[in-house]
Structure 1
Amino acid sequence: MAHRILIVEDQPDICKLIRMTLEFGDFEIHEAHDGESGLNMVRAIMPDVVLLDVMMPGLLDGYQVCDRIKKDPVLQKIRVVMLTARGQATDLAAGEAVGADAYLVKPFSPLELIERVENLVSASA
């Protein structure tokens, strides 16, 4: 059974890199390009893992999306990996405060991304 992955990333090149990295695994990959559409897609497709950029255009940033996912009883079991260029201790603490399951700093290793996603998928199975 393919595990559903939602990529919420506003940069097309990074989105493409993530998709190319994961398409060799047993994943059904979906994309959204801002926080609002990402949150709507989370509700619609109920992914196993959300790969969530922090800084995005629109009304909701990645922290706000993660916070809403983790506070919603229907969605809270969905695993969230924050993907961001912001790697300061305060950024990591903000991700932890909203319930992120993992935090990867850009540029990230494709192998590390695959490993994190596979670990989260197997932990939720």
Structure 2
Amino acid sequence: MSIRRIQIDLNRRNRAGQTPAPYFGPTPRVGERVVAFEPEDGVALDAAVAEVDIERCRVVLDIDWDSLRDDVAPQAELFVLGMTGSCSQFVVTTPSTPMSRGSGERVALRLSDLLPSSVAIR
């Protein structure tokens, strides 16, 4: 099982020095280890989920700032844009080079584009 990746803004912190961020997909668990990443600067950091706000689909992360490194994203990675009980849209990032300095192409797809026509979407 791969570790969850959560996109962050390096400049956002709460009063306790933690980093708030939205999440997509299944609800993270408090204490879950994640990779926080910031595509604009092409960096990744190790983090742990400190709080979860299910109503707003947001988490608060404890970031290990000493783990800062270049982010090398997999060749094809799906980021869920919206959730209303089930995924309705994805953004696929397909970098031609490692994800550094915002390289790569982002393409929006509907869930129906990814599934065979025999699968019903509700």
What TM-score do the two structures reach when normalised by structure 2? 0.26
Q: Relative to total residues, which structure has the larger strand share, 1 or 2? A: 2
Q: Relative to total residues, which structure has the larger helix share, 1 or 2? A: 1
What TM-score do the two structures reach when normalised by structure 1? 0.26
Question: With CA pairs under 8 Å and 6+ residues apart, which has the higher RCO, 1 or 2?
Answer: 1
